[in-house]
Structure 1
Amino acid sequence: MVLNSITWTVKPEIFSLGPISVRYYGLCFAIAFMLGYHILERMFKSEKIPLPWLEKLFIYVVLGTIAGARLGHVFFYGWDYYSQNIGEILMVWKGGLASHGGAIGVITAVIIFSKKISKTNPLWTLDRLAVPVALAAFFIRLGNLFNSEIYGHPTDKPWAFRFVDNMYQWIHLNAEPIFTAPSHPTQLYEGLAYLALFGLLMYMYWKTDAKERTGLLFGVYLIGIFVSRFFIEFVKNNQEDFEADMALNMGQWLSIPFILVGVYLIYQSTKVKIAKK
């Protein structure tokens, strides 16, 4: 029997302790950071880079990711609301993170780290950081799936998902679930694209001279992440009402500068002369 769609009834919360709840989204974030730390530790050891740098870089990146992703959501998608509710900007637990803002936050954090701690070209750090961040992007989209959010347009594809549309009432008020029309699981589309990118970057780092070509790994990362995002946006629901009249939605417009920077970095990396060993 061929399925016409997949009914997704996984609740976002793993368990609750009074007012505190542990959610799959937070678990995915935690796993992403732990695996990322382990991957970078292997890289640093293989290149004989001081491990204390890693501990400080980890702190910079965590803070940069959260601050950037939150401010990205506030300014790119919700400024009309937050400009009237300034006090809610810091309420990250209420939801609202933007991946483009997270990318800007990470880049800013790495620039500060490179100036204050490693005294190296920020691209040197970004090349190495790109590998685990691609894996983290996969886990974040997996978290979005558990939250039943940022899914796509209705479709008749056999892998379409039916999500619970009245999540709060279903979980907290014991209401019968109301399901969306079968829709594109764009969280999985993006997540699988990012997982493939992670595999490519791991291969390039460990099996080629890519890490010696400054900007190459980070350039490939930018193109892999944001080209995937750009095209998947065509089948994804808009996040905000104001995007309805736009030729390209906000996510697509924000992706274009990152793609162009990626192309430039790859081009520049081809000019790097590798010393013969």
Structure 2
Amino acid sequence: MPLYIVWDIDPVAIPIGDGGFNWYGLMWSAGFVAGYYVALYIFKQEGFNKDKITNMLFYTGIGGIVGARLADIVFYNLDYFIENPSEMGMIWKGGLASHGGVPGVIIGAWLFTKFNKEFKLVWLLDRLAIISLIGLGLVRIGNLCNSELYGIPTHVPWAFIFYSVDDLPRHPVQIYEALMCWGVFAYLLYTYKRVKNNMPGLYLTIFFIFIFSIRLLLEFFKEREPGLINIEGLSNTQLLSVPMIILGIISLILMQKGYYKKWLS
């Protein structure tokens, strides 16, 4: 009989009275720290003022969080939040959807470039595609600590039994997604360091196509969540991933036709 991993971790990492610091919030914080150091490396490589990093992360971080929260409310938990509107701002409990986070980050980046003219939006979005990936993986570890977004039942030897859910061995899809993000990050960073004069838009294009294609595929291993959009055979996340993949294809066309290079000049 396989020895499955019984997952029974307390979502609260550091208890303080009746509350404390959740693993989910700590993973978000760790993601921002990791993003800062990746941005520091990139800014130094390209001769930009490192004092701008905190400001840039503020704009894009706020945009990403607001967008991700709104997407989670509208597409995944609308009925719940209509009944419990006071919980809409409680992001430390979980409930952030990357499909809303991406447009939120883009809006935040656009606002940042409006106030910091030395940065071009295309250049910044290209670098944010690299900067954000460690954090995206860490957020999935936060989901793991919350015992949420778990997979369908399976008998693979690395299956997890989520004690707070039921006694069935399941795919640890949160770990799959975290490894996916870190793998794409390693590839993009390697490409950034080793290949000179990459075409503008390359990292952004890879981000959209690879991240959301793999997310679409991994949804087949994830327990189906209720949501606003219901089509037989496809989950909410899969349906929301399709426009992101299309954006990636459009980005590829723009890159090949040289539009990104024109916008940088």
Unaligned runs of at least 5 residues, structure 1: 167-178
Which residue of structure 1 lines up, in the alignment, with residue 238 of structure 2?
252
Query: What secondary structure is seen at the aligned counterpart in 1 of 2:14?
Result: strand
Moved more, 221-230 or 3-12: 3-12
1:94 CA displacement: 4.1
User: What is the rounded CA distance, in whole Å, between the counterparts of 1:19 and 1:11 in structure 2?
Assistant: 14
Establish whether residue 226 from structure 1 lines up as the match of residue 212 from structure 2: yes
Which residue of structure 1 lines up, in the alignment, with residue 123 of structure 2?
124
Which residue of structure 2 lines up, in the alignment, with residue 206 of structure 1?
193
- Sequence identity (%): 36
Moved more, 93-102 or 196-205: 93-102
Structure 1 pair 149–85 and aligned structure 2 pair: CA distance change class (3 A):
closer
Amino acid at match of 2:186: G
Structure 1 pair 145–183 and aligned structure 2 pair: CA distance change class (3 A):
same
Amino acid at match of 2:181: Y
User: What is the rounded CA distance, in whole Å, between the counterparts of 2:218 and 2:178 in structure 1?
Assistant: 11
Are 2:39 and 2:131, in contact at CA under 8 Å, matched by a contact in 1?
yes
**TM-score in terms of structure 1 length:** 0.86
1:244 CA displacement: 6.6
**TM-score in terms of structure 2 length:** 0.90
Query: What secondary structure is seen at the aligned counterpart in 1 of 2:21?
Result: strand
Question: 1:175-228 CA deviation, whole Å, 9 max, x = no partner?
Answer: xxxx43001111011111111100011011111136x42211011011121111
Query: What secondary structure is seen at the aligned counterpart in 1 of 2:34?
Result: helix
RMSD of the alignment, in Å? 2.1
1:161 CA displacement: 0.6
Which residue of structure 2 lines up, in the alignment, with residue 89 of structure 1?
88
1:120 CA displacement: 4.1
Query: What secondary structure is seen at the aligned counterpart in 2 of 1:83?
Result: helix
User: What is the rounded CA distance, in whole Å, between the counterparts of 2:230 and 2:168 in structure 1?
Assistant: 19
Establish whether residue 193 from structure 1 lines up as the match of residue 192 from structure 2: no
Give the total of aligned pairs: 260
Which residue of structure 1 lines up, in the alignment, with residue 43 of structure 2?
44
Which residue of structure 2 lines up, in the alignment, with residue 176 of structure 1?
none
Unaligned runs of at least 5 residues, structure 2: none
Are 2:27 and 2:138, in contact at CA under 8 Å, matched by a contact in 1?
yes
Establish whether residue 56 from structure 1 lines up as the match of residue 55 from structure 2: yes
